Structure 1
Amino acid sequence: MLRSSLAIATVTATLIATGLPAAACGEEDKPASEKVRVSGAPGAVKNVKAVGNVPDAQGAIAMGFLQYGHRDVMAVSGEFGLKVYDLTKNPAAPKLIGEVSLPGLWETEDTEVDVKRKLVFLARDPRAYGGTTQTGESGIYIIDLKNPEKPAILSYTKVPAGHTTSCVDDCRYLWTGGPAKAANQPADWGGRPIWVTDIRDPRNPKTAPDPIELARNDGKTDYVHDVQVDDEGVAWVSGRGGVRGYWTSGYHRDPVQGKVRRATAFSPVPYAGGGIEETAAPSKFMHNSFHPSGHRSADGADSNRWRGRDLIYATEESFLDGCVGDGVLTISSLQNSYNGEGWRSTPEKPFRLKSVGTWSVAGQEGSDPTTGDCSAHYFDVRGKVLVQSFYTQGTRFLDVSDPTDPKQIAYFRPADASAWAPYWHKGYVYVADNTRGIDILKLTA
């Protein structure tokens, strides 16, 4: 997550110098622990009950959940490395049972777990341990959690990217992307694309020498930030230039090559997607996404279709001076993007997905206009309720039953909030807060 290095003064200076939101540039190298955090008005809470907090997880960035029979375990990653908590007896009071200490690790955003093999994957950003985007080392730690009391590093492998790493093809491979390009990478790149790592043998990962997901920003190779896989196995790649989906297994029609071929993690088949309309996301930097394929609401309706339209949810991460122009939640239609349009887009003939709706925290009930960080960030969806982190603006619950008009139904904004990622889990929402640790919430609306 790019913003983790930003102080307010740095944001303003970068905007003047580049014309782009600093958070979307990924150039800042200040460690998160040295960031300026701004506290404004007192906190605000509505229709949410805070049932627990884990302060010893301060520096938390992301988390994943694993089941061991009836045992429920939470793996939390952050600037400290990895901490493992047992939720079985009391999910509102997680018990620390194991850890891998890696102080100074950056940044482990969107950490994923292999629920079958009980593995955790931590991305090492080049800014870890005092490095820089230009010269620092990046890679992947694979941690064995077969015994959650004794987590152990199985392997570490250098990879030319390292901001996030994500499972594809049933966690047999990792796609690793970001951040800004290194000094030894092509000058015309706007950021790092994806490198593919074979982790079928997690003790001996093998990373392919050549990257994929090139030319994603109107023909330019640019910053890939994150990958999310939907229920049908399509890997949705977010970054500067929009969101594009790929098949990573099976035989599918390739709309770019004009033929049916086998999809693999190393040679995926384009499915749909493209750039987001600049009226919805002016920076063009899409941080993460969600394609609700196969998700069904309580009434049995397929939530992937809204009035006949296939939707992609995504967040723009950008920071301007004040909250009004900061990154928003975007909802776009994938209509007219199934024939490779997003792969043929150029500056002269740009292709954009049609925006259906947006939501911004600026001016919303419970918001504090005096705080510095108001950009949209990670979110999670259950049915028609979307829960999302907005940094110092805390955690917001939205009713997205009408994607053209998302409505806030609840919020949790502590005065010292630094919310990065919320996760629905067994009726609770666990929020990775970089300042507060883990907040455990119950929606009461």
Structure 2
Amino acid sequence: MRAFRTGLVLLTTAVTLVATGLPAAACDRDEKPQTPSARAQGAPGAVKNVQAVGNLPDAAGAISLNFLSIGRRDVMVVSGEFGLKSYDLANPAAPKLLGTLSLPGLWETEDTEVDPERNLIFLSRDPRAFGGTTHTGESGIYVVDVSRPEKPEILSYVKVPAGHTTSCVDGCRYLWTGGPAKADNMPADWGGRPIWVTDVRNPRKPVVNPNPIELARNDGKTDYVHDVQVDAEGIAWVSGRGGVRGYWTTGTHRDPVAGGVRRATALKPIPYAGGGISETAAPSKFMHNSLRPVGPRGRFGQLLYATEESFVDGCAGDGVLTISSLDGSYGGEGWRSTPDKPFRLKSVGTWSVAGQEGSDPTSADCSAHYFDLRGNVLVQSFYEQGTRFLDVSDPTNPTQIAYFRPADAAAWAPYFHRGYVYVADNKRGVDILKPQV
């Protein structure tokens, strides 16, 4: 997802789940593009301690949001199946459309990231975009200049062997791009696409390194990398099938896998910590996105929060948000894990939307998805189960304190911004919420 901009970030939550023995392809809904439906009218399905103050139905198909300060303006950038739209937030409850970059059929732009220093947006093109398939479709990255938000401009496009998500590392000097399922021309023993590194120091002429990284991530097997999030200390956390592993991309550090001390780069990162997630917490092994909260003096740096994305019949078995301890993983254990000698992080806590107050037991899609943190409050999207607010001051006992579940929810990602929460909803567009907690 993005490098989190939360200052003091606290703890998150997860879910208890029954072992399902899911096949690998069943773990990721993103394998099948969803068609946005018209926005349903009428009262929300369930609301508590949240005021809905606005909605942008013209952004139907929204998947990811970002916020930029451009001049004296507070600007929101919405990416999705339509391409890109920018909004002025002078009135935060009623954003005003500024400009549009039309790319209808773009898929998927999930967790789109920005370079706030250069006012650049990096849009990932999944091979399924514009009618393509994972087998033979083209993937790549659009570099978009939004310094004039009324007229977003594509500076460059470069083909990349991966394209489900693309993430900034090393201060957006480089991009790490991963996913989805492997193409027909990739090695038969790969379970999905790893990471390719693109140098975007010159945004008009991106350079893609031909050699992928983050191989052998799933007990020694190269597998699907879904997303990368960078924490407050600059460590890049790579989520996907097989768990979550963190890397230094800058500075000089000890390499716990190869031994010795060397300089980390985006092309040759140094392992930090992480590994597989305990199957008792996340049976599917598919980690969608993650975050290591870092507080004063690294107070909360020992915990790793990761969303499992998984869909089965009934909400009770759908994906969860896991809380794991990084203790015991700083010696490269997650890189030496094998099927015969698997390494797993110790589970600390979980939280599930299934059966919770405000939930709809008839919903088909209840998996945990992207989340954001502000102080002791976690906000998370759960597709048809809407947006949930949790008190996570005790990571072993997350407690729901508010929720917003419209009857037609397809919530993908929520974002705290200046006292509001903006929710990218694939059907409804963007919901603007005012928490009452």
**Which bin holds the TM-score, normalised by the shorter protein?**
over 0.9
Does the 8 Å CA contact 1:66/1:115 hold for their aligned counterparts?
yes
1: CA distance between counterparts of 2:255 and 2:24? 35
1: CA distance between counterparts of 2:155 and 2:332? 39
1:311-330 per-residue CA deviation (whole Å, 9 max, x = no partner) reads 00010000010000100110
Corresponding position: 1:405 with 2:408: no
Task: Tell me the SS of whatever aligns to 1:33.
Answer: coil
> 1:116 corresponds to which letter in structure 2?
E
Post-superposition shift, 1:68? 1.9
Corresponding position: 1:256 with 2:248: no
Identify which of 300, 306, 317 aligns with 1:304: 300
2: CA distance between counterparts of 1:143 and 1:70? 20
> 1:339 corresponds to which letter in structure 2?
G
1:8-67 per-residue CA deviation (whole Å, 9 max, x = no partner) reads xxxxxxxx9x942654256845x422789999x960000000011111000000011100
Structure 2 unaligned residues grouped into runs of 5+: 2-19
Structure 1 unaligned residues grouped into runs of 5+: 2-15
2: CA distance between counterparts of 1:38 and 1:92? 20
1: CA distance between counterparts of 2:372 and 2:36? 28
Identify which of 359, 363, 368 aligns with 1:376: 368
Identify which of 414, 428, 433 aligns with 2:425: 433
Q: Which residue of 2 aligns with 1:77?
A: 79
Does the 8 Å CA contact 1:22/1:319 hold for their aligned counterparts?
no
Q: Which residue of 1 aligns with 2:129?
A: 128
Distance 1:144 1:274, change over 3 A: same
Post-superposition shift, 1:356? 0.2
Identify which of 350, 356, 365 aligns with 2:357: 365
User: Structure 1 residues 62-71 or 368-377, which shifts more?
Assistant: 62-71
Q: Which runs of 4+ in 1 moved over 4 A?
A: 25-29, 34-39
Task: Tell me the SS of whatever aligns to 1:342.
Answer: helix
Q: Which residue of 2 aligns with 1:54?
A: 56
Post-superposition shift, 1:150? 1.1
1:114-139 per-residue CA deviation (whole Å, 9 max, x = no partner) reads 00000000000000000001110000
1:275-306 per-residue CA deviation (whole Å, 9 max, x = no partner) reads 0000000000000001112x35xxxx86515x
1:121-176 per-residue CA deviation (whole Å, 9 max, x = no partner) reads 00000000000011100000000011111110000000000000000000000000
1: CA distance between counterparts of 2:379 and 2:145? 30
Does the 8 Å CA contact 2:31/2:181 hold for their aligned counterparts?
no
Q: Which residue of 1 aligns with 2:147?
A: 146
Does the 8 Å CA contact 2:85/2:100 hold for their aligned counterparts?
yes
Distance 1:192 1:38, change over 3 A: farther
> 1:268 corresponds to which letter in structure 2?
P
Task: Tell me the SS of whatever aligns to 1:430.
Answer: strand
Task: Tell me the SS of whatever aligns to 1:156.
Answer: strand
Select the structure with the greater relative contact order (CA < 8 A; seq sep ≥ 6).
2
Post-superposition shift, 1:199? 0.1
Pairs within 5 Å for 1:195-274: 195-274=196-275
2: CA distance between counterparts of 1:254 and 1:154? 37
User: How many residue pairs get matched?
Assistant: 419
2: CA distance between counterparts of 1:140 and 1:38? 33
Distance 1:140 1:321, change over 3 A: same
Does the 8 Å CA contact 1:312/1:332 hold for their aligned counterparts?
yes
Q: Which residue of 2 aligns with 1:24?
A: 27
Task: Tell me the SS of whatever aligns to 1:347.
Answer: coil
Does the 8 Å CA contact 1:373/1:392 hold for their aligned counterparts?
yes
> 1:215 corresponds to which letter in structure 2?
A
> 1:48 corresponds to which letter in structure 2?
V
Task: Tell me the SS of whatever aligns to 1:358.
Answer: strand
Post-superposition shift, 1:187? 0.4
Does the 8 Å CA contact 1:26/1:179 hold for their aligned counterparts?
no
Q: Which residue of 2 aligns with 1:44?
A: 46
Name the TM-score, length of structure 1 as normaliser.
0.91
> RMSD over aligned Cα, in angstroms?
2.1
Post-superposition shift, 1:384? 1.1
Post-superposition shift, 1:227? 0.2
Task: Tell me the SS of whatever aligns to 1:157.
Answer: strand
Pairs within 5 Å for 1:385-424: 385-424=377-416
1: CA distance between counterparts of 2:431 and 2:64? 12
Task: Tell me the SS of whatever aligns to 1:324.
Answer: helix
1:363-415 per-residue CA deviation (whole Å, 9 max, x = no partner) reads 00000010100000000011111100000000000111100111000000000
Task: Tell me the SS of whatever aligns to 2:434.
Answer: strand
Distance 1:22 1:392, change over 3 A: farther
1: CA distance between counterparts of 2:130 and 2:168? 25
Q: Which residue of 2 aligns with 1:9?
A: none
Q: Which residue of 1 aligns with 2:8?
A: none
> 2:150 corresponds to which letter in structure 1?
E
2: CA distance between counterparts of 1:38 and 1:102? 25
Identity, % of aligned pairs? 76
Does the 8 Å CA contact 1:26/1:180 hold for their aligned counterparts?
no
Does the 8 Å CA contact 1:25/1:180 hold for their aligned counterparts?
no
Q: Which residue of 1 aligns with 2:17?
A: none
